Structure 1
Amino acid sequence: MGKTIVITGAGAGLGKALALRFAQEGETVVLLGRTLSKVQAVADEIGGNALAVQCDVASADSVRAAFATIARMHPAIDVLINNAGIYEPFTVAEATDRQIDSIIATNLNGPIYCCRAAIPMMGSGGVIINVGSESVAVPFVMLSLYQCSKAGLERFTEALEAELEDSGIRVALVRAGPMHDQGKEAPAWDRDAAMRFHAGCARNGLDLQTRPISHSGSVTGVFRAVIDLPPDVRVSHVSVGARKA
Structure 2
Amino acid sequence: MQTSLHNKTILITGATAGIGLATAHALLQQGAKLIITGRDQSRLYHAVKQLDGNVIPVLCDSANIAQIQQMAAQLARDKITLDGLILNAGVFYPAPFEQMSADNFHSTMAINFTGPVFTLQALLPCLNNPSSVVFISSVAVQKAFSEAGVYSASKAAFEGFARVLNLELAARGIRINSVRPGVTATEIQAKAGMDDATINGFFESLNTTPVGRVLTPADIIPAINYLISDASIGLRNAYIDIDGGFGL
Pairwise same-fold verdict (TM > 0.5): yes
* TM-score normalised over the length of structure 1: 0.86
- Contact in 2 for aligned 1:125/1:231 (Cα 8 Å): no
Post-superposition Cα deviations, 1:159-180, rounded to whole Å, max 9, x if no partner, equal: 1111111221111111121112
The percent identity for this pair of structures is: 27
Q: Which amino acid aligns with 2:191?
A: P
Match of 2:225 in 1: 224
- Contact in 1 for aligned 2:138/2:180 (Cα 8 Å): yes
- Count, aligned residues: 232
Q: Which amino acid aligns with 1:153?
A: F
- Contact in 1 for aligned 2:137/2:178 (Cα 8 Å): yes
2:44 and 2:229 map into 1 onto residues whose CA distance is: 25
Match of 1:168 in 2: 173
| 1:213 alignment partner, SS class | coil
Match of 1:241 in 2: 243
| Match for residue 120 of structure 1 among 114, 125, 140 | 125
Change (3 A) 1:185 1:11: farther
Post-superposition Cα deviations, 1:187-220, rounded to whole Å, max 9, x if no partner, equal: 25277xx98xx9xxxxxxxx76411321102221
- 1:177 has 2:178 as partner: no
| 1:21 alignment partner, SS class | helix
Instruction: Point out where structure 2 has 5 or more consecutive residues left out of the alignment.
Output: 1-5, 207-212
Change (3 A) 1:134 1:92: same
User: RMSD between aligned alpha carbons?
Assistant: 2.5
- Contact in 2 for aligned 1:175/1:240 (Cα 8 Å): yes
| Match for residue 30 of structure 1 among 31, 35, 48 | 35
2:105 and 2:189 map into 1 onto residues whose CA distance is: 22
- Contact in 1 for aligned 2:184/2:216 (Cα 8 Å): yes
Match of 2:13 in 1: 8
Q: Which amino acid aligns with 1:221?
A: P
1:151 and 1:184 map into 2 onto residues whose CA distance is: 19
1:189 and 1:97 map into 2 onto residues whose CA distance is: 18
1:209 and 1:99 map into 2 onto residues whose CA distance is: 28
Q: CA deviation at 1:74?
A: 4.8
Instruction: Point out where structure 1 has 5 or more consecutive residues left out of the alignment.
Output: 199-206
| 1:234 alignment partner, SS class | coil
- Map residues 46-57 of structure 1 onto 2, 5 A cutoff: 46-57=51-62
* TM-score normalised over the length of structure 2: 0.85
Q: CA deviation at 1:97?
A: 2.8
- Contact in 2 for aligned 1:55/1:62 (Cα 8 Å): yes
- 1:17 has 2:22 as partner: yes
- Map residues 124-203 of structure 1 onto 2, 5 A cutoff: 124-181=129-186, 186-189=190-193
Change (3 A) 1:19 1:166: same
- Contact in 1 for aligned 2:92/2:188 (Cα 8 Å): no
- 1:210 has 2:212 as partner: no
Match of 2:90 in 1: 85
